């Protein structure tokens, strides 16, 4: 037996926060030392932060990263620790893992496969490290090996798969095992997406089994740079068995998951594999003197949290990821609270609930005093004595009525605010709306009417609600949260400078159909270890409505657009799967046989025209959180021209096939706010 205590650390880092990032790295190292850990893997680019964007091109950033590395190294005496940073060599920039051993720099390994899809743009900043290449780099007057290296640390051979290196078909581990590696460290910056953790589990387990190694996976956690949320989820596996797992979506700034592993047992599993063909060329093996202390065997138990075993995992993940994202955004932006324009509808209710959960979940995990300490920069924070009082201090909900508002939505807004514990204010903005209408009517010399000016009269109500909540947010130094969802973003069913106003749009990455389902679940079941919210009945009983037309119009979102389930199905097929109008029609025809051809055609024409017409709105949305591969954010995921041909030829061809007559009235009713 060769027993070694190993650990994976997750860190909540911030780009370019040199002192904060160093402090959390040192805290993790010390926590691992206290647990008797010999080998610690920390996340990718943890010194600089992963989301530095074009700041990676700054020579000053590269200089400071090396300085911080040198400052960290002495803290690793008696340990082996991997940390990540950008490193330049011969005029190119690389994403590297540095192995520190017994207080010294042992060498650097370059990332071989760069993440360049989805929200990732690594090839913009970094070069791929070529296989089998090795150079020397100079730091503080000393030369160190840099390349496609493995490290023989006191008889235990350690190699690296850096995040994407393990996600590709030809993963680096195949080569590492031929070079006799006993342990693979995977420092990652793998963002949260629904059910993504299950994929990570599979490649960690399969890597440990197929390669016959101890596999140590680390990750970032929290809202690091604004849009991406990281879920942590440290893992340590050997011989295809999960030995230890760390918490996901934790509020802790650093967390260590440690376990004792038998390196010899993993090594011998390769001896039983007749397909294993070792490479006898000891190229690029860095000898690192190290004496591992004796360890006692321990029974490894890897038990996920109760909420991760829920039958409603997506609902749990949504609430916990967005809540953590909001909490980190609040404190890292030094904002003093949240402002939500609470309409009484589903979207704003969800935003208010998630804002409250950002405090409640953190207090439940770490304790109220710990959460309050993280927000110590906020005046009057000490006045709060419970988590609910802290929510009341930080969250303000505002119901803004016009003559078209109903008691139903007012009462629903009040019930939600009371249920989550927020302050509740009411603004009557009808006089402002009528003032704007009168100004324009007088200038034009005619009365504005619903028959002639429907859309403009709707929009002015939404826009008149913006200045008051912005004023309130400015007065309190708070973060104004926009309440638009992804389904609305797809078709532009939102008023720019109205319900889209805000510094952050936390639900712009989630579709309306799921959001309504989540609210019903929160009403009846609620999060694991939390009570349900029966007050949501007043919201869930309503049909979604902008409530911008006179009450007699009985306005609903789905009458303006189409059923949200249909809208979301078209969006997934057209935008996520990149199908053209004819192909999307075939998908609808196969799944919605109860609908007439004319109706399906009308919905398709409406979607494609509104999608094309409203790219400019998506370009102007406040930053949103990435939650899955259906993101519409043009800055990080889904690029589309602001000006385009609007699918006119494609729709004309489809109309000829399906309905040769003139375009239907259904299709012509193109509604946007």
Contacts of 12 (CB under 8 A, 6+ apart): 24, 220, 221, 222, 224, 252, 253, 254, 328
Encode 404-427 in three state secondary structure.
CCCHHHHHHHHHHHHHHCCEEEEE
User: What percentage of residues in the chain have a pLDDT greater than 90?
Assistant: 88
Contacts of 579 (CB under 8 A, 6+ apart): 573, 587
pLDDT digits (tens, 9 = 90+) for 274-313: 676 777 676 789 999 999 999 888 877 778 899 999 999 9
- What pLDDT does 44 receive? 98
Residue 242 burial class via C-beta count within 10 angstroms: exposed 0-12, middle 13-18, buried 19 and up: buried
What is residue 645's three-state secondary structure?
coil
pTM, two decimal places: 0.94
Evaluate if residue 666 carries a pLDDT over 60: no
- What pLDDT does 672 receive? 52
Average pLDDT over residues 209-229: 97
Evaluate if residue 670 carries a pLDDT over 50: no
- What pLDDT does 673 receive? 58
User: Residue 389 and residue 422: Cα distance in Å, rounded?
Assistant: 9
Helices (H), 87-195: 122-125, 173-178
What is residue 348's three-state secondary structure?
helix
Residues of the chain with CATH 3.40.50.620: 306-429+465-545
Given a contact cutoff of 8 angstroms between Cβ atoms, the answer to whether 182 and 263 are in contact is yes
Evaluate if residue 583 carries a pLDDT over 80: yes
**CA-CA-CA-CA dihedral for 49, 55, 59, 62, to nearest 10:** 10
For residue 169, how many C-alpha atoms fall within 13 Å in the half-sphere facing its CB? 0
For 3-293, CATH number out of 3.40.630.30, 4.10.320.10, 3.10.20.90, 3.60.110.10 equals 3.60.110.10
Q: List phi, psi (to 5°) of 98.
A: -105, 130
For the record, the structure tokens of 94 come out as 């690389």
For the record, the structure tokens of 215 come out as 């596999």
**Best CA proximity match to 188, nearest among 6, 8, 53:** 8
**CA-CA-CA-CA dihedral for 584, 585, 586, 592, to nearest 10:** 110
Contacts of 560 (CB under 8 A, 6+ apart): 493, 546, 671
Neighbours of 268 (CB within 10 A): 12
Class of domain 306-429+465-545: alpha beta
β strands within 476-632, DSSP E: 479-481
**Best CA proximity match to 248, nearest among 187, 175, 309, 289:** 309
- What pLDDT does 310 receive? 94
Neighbours of 600 (CB within 10 A): 23
**CA-CA-CA-CA dihedral for 117, 122, 123, 124, to nearest 10:** 110
Given a contact cutoff of 8 angstroms between Cβ atoms, the answer to whether 175 and 157 are in contact is no
User: Residue 109 and residue 129: Cα distance in Å, rounded?
Assistant: 8
Polymer length in residues for the chain: 673
User: Residue 529 and residue 91: Cα distance in Å, rounded?
Assistant: 53
Average pLDDT over residues 229-257: 97
Distances (CA, A) of 624 to 120, 143, 249, 491, 587: 15, 43, 18, 17, 29
pLDDT digits (tens, 9 = 90+) for 54-93: 999 999 999 999 999 999 999 999 999 999 999 999 999 9
Helices (H), 75-195: 122-125, 173-178
**Best CA proximity match to 607, nearest among 577, 589, 633, 585:** 585
Average pLDDT over residues 451-472: 95
Residues of the chain with CATH 3.60.110.10: 3-293
Beta pairing, strands 80-89 & 92-101? antiparallel
Q: What is the mean pLDDT of the chain?
A: 94
User: Phi/psi zone of residue 119: left (φ > 0), alpha (ψ -120 to 50 degrees), beta?
Assistant: alpha
Evaluate if residue 669 carries a pLDDT over 60: no
- What pLDDT does 412 receive? 96
For the record, the structure tokens of 32 come out as 């691992």
Q: If pLDDT is split at 50, 70 and 90, which confidence band does 118 have?
A: confident
Exposure string for 438-466, b = 16+ CB within 10 A, e = fewer: eeeeeeeeeebeeeebeeebbbbbbbbbb
Given a contact cutoff of 8 angstroms between Cβ atoms, the answer to whether 15 and 225 are in contact is yes
Contacts of 202 (CB under 8 A, 6+ apart): none
Evaluate if residue 13 carries a pLDDT over 70: yes
Q: If pLDDT is split at 50, 70 and 90, which confidence band does 476 have?
A: very high
Residues forming beta bridges with residue 95, ordered by sequence position: 86
Kind and range of the H or E run holding 21: helix 18-34
Q: If pLDDT is split at 50, 70 and 90, which confidence band does 534 have?
A: very high
DSSP state of 74: G
Q: List phi, psi (to 5°) of 651.
A: -70, -35
Helices (H), 166-273: 173-178, 196-211, 263-271
Beta pairing, strands 241-245 & 254-262? unpaired
Given a contact cutoff of 8 angstroms between Cβ atoms, the answer to whether 9 and 32 are in contact is yes
Average pLDDT over residues 489-497: 93
User: Residue 402 and residue 149: Cα distance in Å, rounded?
Assistant: 67
Higher pLDDT, 545 or 492: 492
**Best CA proximity match to 166, nearest among 127, 123, 120, 218:** 218
For the record, the structure tokens of 408 come out as 């139903």
Three-point CA angle 18, 46, 216, nearest 5°: 155
Helices (H), 465-580: 466-476, 486-491, 512-524, 537-540, 557-560, 564-571
DSSP state of 349: H
pLDDT digits (tens, 9 = 90+) for 22-32: 999 999 999 99
User: Residue 171 and residue 207: Cα distance in Å, rounded?
Assistant: 9
Q: Which of 339-343, 629-633, 663-667 has the lowest mean pLDDT?
A: 663-667
Higher pLDDT, 297 or 214: 214
């Amino acid at each position: 037996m060769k027993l070694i205590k190993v650990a994976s650390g997750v860190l909540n880092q911030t780009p370019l926060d040199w002192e904060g990032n160093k402090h959390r790295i040192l805290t993790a190292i010390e926590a691992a030392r206290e647990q008797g850990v010999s080998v610690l893997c920390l996340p990718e680019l943890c010194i600089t932060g992963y989301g530095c964007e074009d700041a990676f091109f700054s020579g000053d950033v590269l200089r400071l990263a090396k300085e911080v590395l040198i400052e960290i190294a002495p803290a690793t005496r008696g340990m082996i620790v991997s940390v990540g940073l950008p490193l330049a060599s011969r005029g190119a920039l690389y994403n590297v893992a540095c192995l520190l051993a017994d207080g010294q720099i042992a060498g650097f390994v370059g990332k071989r496969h760069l993440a360049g899809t989805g929200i990732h743009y690594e090839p913009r900043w970094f070069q791929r490290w070529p296989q089998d290449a090795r150079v020397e780099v100079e730091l503080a007057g000393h030369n160190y090996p840099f390349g496609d290296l493995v490290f023989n640390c006191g008889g235990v051979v350690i190699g690296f798969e850096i995040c994407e290196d393990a996600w590709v078909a030809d993963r680096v581990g195949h080569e590492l095992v031929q070079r006799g590696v006993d342990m693979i460290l995977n420092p990652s910056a793998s963002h949260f997406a629904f059910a993504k953790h299950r994929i990570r589990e599979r490649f960690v387990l399969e890597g440990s089994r197929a390669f016959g190694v101890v596999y140590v996976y680390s990750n970032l956690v929290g809202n690091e740079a604004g849009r991406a949320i990281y879920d942590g989820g440290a893992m340590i596996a050997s011989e295809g068995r999960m030995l230890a797992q760390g918490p996901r979506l934790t509020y802790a700034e650093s967390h260590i998951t440690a376990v004792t592993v038998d390196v010899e047992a993993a090594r011998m599993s390769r001896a039983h594999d007749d397909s294993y063909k070792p490479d006898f060329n000891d190229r690029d093996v860095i000898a690192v003197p190290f004496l591992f202390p004796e360890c006692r065997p321990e029974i490894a138990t890897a038990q996920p949290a109760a909420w991760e075993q829920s039958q409603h995992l997506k609902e749990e993940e949504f609430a916990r990821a967005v809540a953590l994202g909001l909490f980190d955004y609040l404190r890292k932006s030094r904002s003093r609270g949240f402002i939500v324009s609470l309409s009484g509808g589903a979207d704003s209710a969800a935003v208010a609930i998630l804002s409250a959960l950002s405090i409640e979940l953190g207090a439940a995990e770490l304790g109220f005093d710990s959460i309050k300490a993280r927000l110590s920069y906020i005046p009057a924070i000490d006045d709060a004595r419970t988590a609910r009082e802290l929510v009341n201090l930080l969250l303000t909900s505002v119901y803004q009525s016009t003559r078209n508002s109903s008691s139903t939505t007012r009462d629903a807004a009040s019930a939600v605010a009371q249920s989550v514990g927020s302050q509740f204010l009411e603004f009557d903005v009808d006089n402002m709306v009528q003032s704007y209408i009168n100004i324009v009517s007088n200038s034009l010399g005619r009365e504005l009417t619903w028959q002639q000016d429907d859309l403009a009269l709707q929009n002015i109500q939404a826009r008149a609600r913006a200045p008051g909540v912005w004023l309130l947010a400015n007065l309190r130094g708070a973060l104004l949260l926009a309440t638009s969802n992804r389904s609305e973003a797809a078709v532009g069913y939102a008023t720019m400078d109205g319900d889209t106003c805000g510094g952050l749009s936390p639900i712009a990455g989630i579709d309306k159909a799921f959001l309504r389902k989540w609210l019903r679940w929160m009403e009846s079941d609620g999060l694991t270890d939390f009570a349900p919210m029966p007050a949501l009945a007043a919201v869930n009983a309503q049909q979604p409505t902008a409530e911008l037309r006179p009450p007699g119009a009985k306005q609903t979102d789905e009458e303006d657009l189409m059923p949200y389930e249909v809208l979301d199905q078209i969006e997934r097929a057209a935008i996520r799967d990149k199908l053209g109008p004819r192909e999307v029609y075939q998908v609808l025809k196969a799944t919605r046989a109860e609908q007439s051809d004319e109706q399906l055609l009308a919905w398709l024409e409406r979607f494609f025209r509104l999608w094309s017409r409203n790219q400019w709105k998506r370009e102007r949305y406040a930053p949103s959180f990435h939650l899955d591969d259906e993101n519409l954010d043009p800055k990080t995921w889904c690029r589309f021209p602001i000006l385009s041909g609007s699918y006119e030829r494609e729709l004309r061809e489809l109309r000829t096939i399906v309905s040769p007559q003139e375009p239907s009235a259904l299709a012509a009713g193109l509604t946007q706010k």
